[in-house]
Amino acid sequence: GSCSDVLLLLLGAGDPDGPPDLASQLRAYVVASLAATYTDMALVLLEDAADSTSVGCPDDTVEEHGSSFHFDGHYKIFPRGLSTLVRHPAWLSRGCGPPCPGSYGYGDWLGLWRSASGGGEGETGIPGAAWFLCEESASNVLVVTSESVFAYFRQLLPEMADRTSGESIRRAHGWAVNLGAAEDEAAIMSTLQGEDDIMDYAEALAARTGIPLLQPWISRDVQSFVAEHHMESWMSGNKPAIYKPEYQVPLAEYLVRFSEVQCGTHHAYVATQHPLAVREEVQSLPEIRGGRRTVPVKRMKRCLGFTFKVGPVPDDGWLRNPTCRDGYDRTVATVAELMVLARSSILVGDLSTSEGRLARFFRSTPARSTSVINGGGRPTDTKATVVMGDDSLSRHVYRPPESADGLTVHFYVKTSGSRVYLDRARRSADTWTRDVAGPG
């Protein structure tokens, strides 16, 4: 049956220092989705019921640590952990719930995983994973955590990239179909050569499905946040963005790279963990006509002009004693900036962080099948993106981030309750880049 083989992802587990950061959890979810669709398994999520810290609680939670909240005129059971943010689609779960619900809860599965994979490999020699037979649900269950799913995925890579046998070609074709590919796209997947091209194409197919899908209250509150901070032009894809995770690299180094894409005046949004320092850098740039700033490089003065909107300034006061709702506000802000990076007309940045890899993932689409089949180019198209540094270090969500300094927006802002934005929110903030429909 559809639930006979289950990939059980224990969200927020596996790290002794607590749940991974938001971007790492989103990467783990995407990687688990790629693994489940390749192995033809149902992907089932299981949250730690005690986790109210990593993503936070919606602003309209009835009680700070209550079990329900009020949304769209109805009371809903409050989801914990990443499920506060991600709406897991039925085409991935295949309608399956957690296996052995009468015998095992989150702590039980985590304990079984730790016992079986204490040395880094499960009993069957699978890195980061452990197999169990759930007789109650008649399911073969492969258990991974938010941390270990990357090791599990890496051991699948040689098999995913193999095209030397009829069975490997059949599995590649089925993988593409599970990701919603049309028949011509599935044919491309089954004949592509090389790990990078194969994974680029698989990620582009996955991104097209819209995963990770957003919960409706996240969509609503992201749109309110965007309106509050006047970010609509970048959310609509009309303006460029800069992702500057590193403090040491001067802003001018990012700006010069715009000449590789398009000269002229750019109204750029800067997503950074160091907004105050970036604002000081902006003020130090030479000013030219119309209040624009230019790059202090002689050959570029006539080519490029900039105006800037820098991400909101952190308000660290609330971090001294943050509440679950404070954590939710930070989640909304982080999602909003990540969506700006995903949707912007041009993106210039260091994409080797967890957030940068996700932005690149969201910006990729499968190339037109005829051009790939005829040898006319790469298998994926990416919206205008200029990568700072080594391009190969920013590819693929399953690879570890190269930079430890990522985009996390640390500030408090009340985002919900702005009724004028709610209908628009449902239209424009449901997905990261576009309106999509999942496979099946």
- The SS3 of residue 231 is coil
What is the C-alpha separation between 160 and 197, in angstroms, rounded?
A: 11
Question: For the chain, what is the mean pLDDT?
Answer: 81
Nearest to 8 by CA among 142, 154, 115, 120: 142
pLDDT of residue 395: 83
Instruction: Determine if residue 328 is left, alpha or beta; phi over 0 gives left, psi from -120 to 50 gives alpha, anything else beta.
Output: alpha
Peptide bond preceding 19: is omega within 30 degrees of 0, i.e. cis? no
pLDDT of residue 430: 58
Highest mean pLDDT among 229-233, 262-266, 404-408: 229-233
- pLDDT higher for 34 or 14? 34
Note the Cα 372 to chain centre separation in Å: 26
321, pLDDT greater than 70: no
Quote the tokens at residue 260.
């590789």
Question: What average pLDDT score do residues 367-383 get?
Answer: 68
- Of 76-90, 93-107, 186-200, 204-218, give the lowest mean pLDDT range: 76-90
Confidence of residue 387 (pLDDT cuts 50, 70, 90): confident
pLDDT of residue 412: 27
Confidence of residue 1 (pLDDT cuts 50, 70, 90): low
Quote the tokens at residue 114.
């730790």
- β-bridge pairing 68-71 and 74-77: antiparallel
Question: Contact, 97 vs 89, CB < 8 A?
Answer: no
Highest mean pLDDT among 48-62, 85-99, 381-395, 426-440: 85-99
Nearest to 355 by CA among 272, 236, 237, 251: 272
pLDDT of residue 63: 57
What is the C-alpha separation between 218 and 379, in angstroms, rounded?
A: 32
86, pLDDT greater than 60: yes
pLDDT of residue 317: 43
Encode pLDDT of 400-414 as tens digits.
887 544 443 322 232
What is the CA angle 123-126-130, rounded to 5? 50
- DSSP 8-class letter at 398: T
Encode pLDDT of 327-340 as tens digits.
888 889 999 999 99
Determine how many CB atoms are found less than 10 A away from the CB of residue 151: 18
Encode pLDDT of 105-157 as tens digits.
999 999 989 888 654 444 556 888 999 998 887 889 999 999 999 999 999 99
Q: Tokens 């990729």 appear where?
A: 364
pTM attached to this predicted model:
0.86
β-bridge mates for residue 307, sequence order = 267
